[in-house]
Amino acid sequence: MTLQKILLKIRFNPRTWFFLGFLSCFAMLAIGAYFQFVEELEPCPLCISQRIFILATGIVMLAAAIHNPQDKGRHIYAIAGAMVAFLGACVSTRHVWLQNLPPEDVPECSPGLSYVFEHFPLTETLKLMFNGTGECADVLWTFLGLSIPGWTLVAFLGLATISLLQFWNHNDLSPRTLENE
């Protein structure tokens, strides 16, 4: 059996892939909630920004799975999902970069995020959320040498890949369609 035939046998339709992407986003948000509420790891501004992008990516993927569009719509969802995931990957990359700075180059810590939301203008709050602060440089948990932002970066890149691959995936996976490919 050739590799192409194996890939055709395990291939899912785009609706399934988008739904699996949504489930991945849901799982990541659940893991974030576990770390915050059970392990009591307080999220920093960049962690919250990454959660927002995970949520946005999940919403795009759920909408694509529910809508199950044909070619043009599938292409739009694929690009939208990949763009949101890539933006999240940019935030994760910034977070990983901050965590790997020498201690003397780490920015100063800020007041708590709830204080910032109450006392700072929205523009300053958003700047803080996307640039990060000193507490963003703290590595509170690692697995296989990667911190939470490192794993989130890997997940965003995986979600972007899943989304972009739907550009070439087809809704009609009947045996006749598969034989023609």
Per-chain mean pLDDT for the chain: 78
Q: Per-residue pLDDT for 117 more than 90?
A: no
Contacts 24+ apart (CB under 8 A), 61-68: 61/18, 61/19, 61/21, 61/22, 61/25, 61/159, 61/163, 62/18, 62/19, 62/22, 64/14, 64/15, 64/18, 64/166, 65/15, 65/16, 65/18, 65/19, 65/22, 68/14, 68/15, 68/171
Average pLDDT over residues 168-179: 54
**pLDDT tier for residue 98 given thresholds of 50, 70 and 90:** confident
Please give the DSSP secondary-structure letter assigned to residue 138. -
**Using alpha carbons only, what angle is made at residue 151 by residues 112 and 27, rounded to the nearest 5 degrees?**
85
**pLDDT tier for residue 175 given thresholds of 50, 70 and 90:** very low
- Kindly report whether the global pTM for this prediction surpasses the value 0.85: no
Rounding to the nearest 10 degrees, give the CA dihedral for residues 6, 57, 114, 99: 50
Q: What are phi and psi of 13, to 5 degrees?
A: -75, 165
Q: Per-residue pLDDT for 152 more than 70?
A: yes
Give the residue from 69, 61, 33 showing the smallest Cα distance to 164: 61
Instruction: Output 168 or 49, whichever has higher pLDDT.
Output: 49
Question: Residues 6 or more apart from 162 whose CB is under 8 A from it?
Answer: 17, 18, 20, 21, 81
d(CA 105, CA 93): 17
Instruction: Output 4 or 62, whichever has higher pLDDT.
Output: 62
Average pLDDT over residues 23-36: 92
* Confidence (pLDDT) at 46: 81
Domains and CATH numbers, the chain: 12-180 (1.20.1550.10)
